[in-house]
Structure 1
Amino acid sequence: MFQKILIANRGEIALRVLRACKELGIQTVVVHSTADSDAMHVRLADESVCIGPPPSRESYLNIHQIVAACEITGADAVHPGYGFLSENAKFADILAAHNITFIGPSGDHIRIMGDKIEAKRTAKRLGIPVVPGSDGAISDEKEAKRIAAAIGYPVIIKASAGGGGRGMKVARTEADLEVALQTAKSEAGAAFGDDAVYIEKYLEKPRHIELQVFGDGAGRGVHFGERDCSLQRRHQKVWEEANSPALNAEERARIGGICAKAIADLGYSGAGTIEFLYENGEFYFIEMNTRLQVEHPVTEAITGIDLVHEQIRVASGGGLSVKQEDIKFNGHAIECRVNAEDPRTFTPSPGTITHFHTPGGLGIRVDSGVYSGYRIPPYYDSLIGKLIVHGRNRVECMMRLRRALDEFVVDGIKTTLPLFRDLVGNPDIANGDYDIHWLEKYLAKEE
């Protein structure tokens, strides 16, 4: 087991990893920018190192400074959390060259899954169902029209190196295709420095279903069930559930088995999430995230397994602590992402939190790194906390969530809590009857 882990992140995920380390008896080091010197994880860590000014590129994305912090403090491993350098193959390679363990998959696996086209090819080879579309990057408009005609409209153009909805355009007819292709390539080039795009069949009313998987790097793989992340705004997840209200036991077992086998065959090490669009009983691979997900606590709630403990165990060479038959699913869990944003316009709302009170009681968990008097800096992601609620079934979970939202108080800034209070009382949400377009349509009606 590791002696000292450096946590290369900030906010609630840094505190989440820090807690896991403490439970395992591992010394902790956190790095931080000057804007985060009073953050909760900085206060609670065994050691802290300031690595630069507020801009991420000068601090949390500064590989040289993070490696230097490891060498100064004697950290023998780095947990990247999510975001920042968590899916940076170069970072993983550099740590390996310095004999520092990256708590995550190999640089090669990060590279494969970080390229959307190569990821799709790999998924197909591993037996994972994929969305009909091009086998690689589209060379020109003529090829795009040929592929679109073969798979049928509507189609979606996606950036190969993309994420977060950038470089994605829908074409419903051949007349739309030229503009969609040019716009997607332009956005992709500007956002990612790579204008390669590919084309897929556009599904009209899919759900976003993802499978939590783990590999030991030696040919063993397991899955921890699925999460439903269909409530999204601009391709950003807002509300996540486990298990999905849309799947039955047979579908759950089928796709779980496919994903666990794929991870084993790939020789993958650590945590990963295989994401799908799901429509009319069929799953279609869209991407794989080679890191811990923001929404991992709902999986922990229904399985009772600490996924960060599992990450550390696998990275240290201890292998997986469970076999597939050991993983049991209990009840239902929902996570609401509480952001420092206007609940209608979603405009960021940095500032000082004057009062912060979290709900409690059976089945309630709040992952947050903020406190009363804490000033939210304007430089980073607006997530300030996650409310995770667990119940014996979805009905109990929803009732418990309603109560928890009523207890949650954040004063001094605007947050998305009012949005969740509206959603929990909506009949479609209560019935689990929604898709990836539902929330944006709902918000448009409210304007």
Structure 2
Amino acid sequence: MRTRIWHAHVRTSVVGCTVLVLGLTGAVAQAQPHVRDLGRETLAVGDGWGSEGAGTTGGAAATAGQVRTVATWAEFKAALQAGGDAPKIIKVKGVIDPVAEGCASFAAPGYDFDAYLEKYSPENWGLDTDLSGEPADSPEGLRAVSAASQDKAIKVEVPANTTIVGVGKGAGIRGGSLQIKGVDNVILRNLTIEAPLDCFPQWDPTDTDTGAWNSEYDAVVVYGSTHVWVDHNTLTDGRYPDSTLPTYFGRTYQQHDGLLDIVRGANHVTVSWNSVEDHDKTMLIGNSDSAGATDTGKLKVTLHHNRFEGIVERAPRVRFGQVDAYNNHFVVTEGQPYGYTFGVGASSQLYASDNAFSLPAGVSAAKTLKKWSEAPLTAENNYVNGRRTDLIAVHNAEIPAETLQSGAGWTPTLRTKVDPPRAVPGIVDGRAGAGKVR
């Protein structure tokens, strides 16, 4: 059982003199300044859905023996496993990288990508049959073995009652996949997280009329977990934006999946003050229209004061959940691919208010919303390029085939300060992301 941890901060103000502490022996010692420890900080009361109930405290109650500083992926994995579900704080120093030796280190003996392309090209294989029946010694079989090797190397499971925090401004994780799966009470802060690059995407000839490359690995996935706080991180494709990926069989060799997915009955999550950059399929909240038995009444997520730039879609795409999105800044850059920002999916109850959008010429505010299923939403007091804009009205006027209904059916109460949306770009742009915790 967890209880909230309350932190009292006492400030003494003395003008024109130095504060001294006098001991009984007459010895004089100068008072020591308070040193902030991000690992001991907890989600504030009332700060989004993550503060519901017992709140989110992560590893704040960790004993000294359960506080570890790690500088390698191996140390990180060991720290996660130590002590089971006892409260723990893991401090990441510098950049840790499970793929530092390159994709070749995961390749199965005999795997040859050129042979893979030769055998499964549309000219040789066609587009009517998938690759599921291929034997173990085939190019697809060897690809699958290679993919399993990478999967084992880059995925880590985060236990309950854990805080993972970056040390200083340069801490990060490259190419790892953090699995927050089936646990309670996790905090992730102050890290630059570069999305995993799938070394061995699978070709599916039957995906669409022309086939497609399908990739694995989310940077962070919250799967069936509760009370999670993701704060002041930078999540990005980093060194490998989609624009650098090659093309095979006329389709992009897709090596990225999601940046932050919240799925399978996850609940009570706050995502705050993050910089989310240069990615395609960014954030799913609920991953299946058929998951009503698991997801109904759950997937309660708050997104506030995040900055999204260069995002193609899913910021987020929502199914089932009561999702509160306020005071976020969504930046669409000139010439970037852009699909939509908010995806309205099956039984979703999205409440999007007081956000700011910066759109280039030629990108209409109508595209900020995308209808996937019949689900009313609330979208009020949002500003586009500095002007208050009724996103639903603009969408319905320009895209009448996807008419959206207004009224999410609930009103958020777990909010801290709501900033004026016109001021959001100036507030969020300077403070969102890793290395900017105040």
Could you tell me the TM-score, scaled by structure 1's length?
0.28
User: Where is the helix percentage greater, Structure 1 or Structure 2?
Assistant: 1
Larger Rg: 2
Q: Report 1 or 2 for greater relative contact order, CA contacts < 8 Å, sequence distance ≥ 6.
A: 1
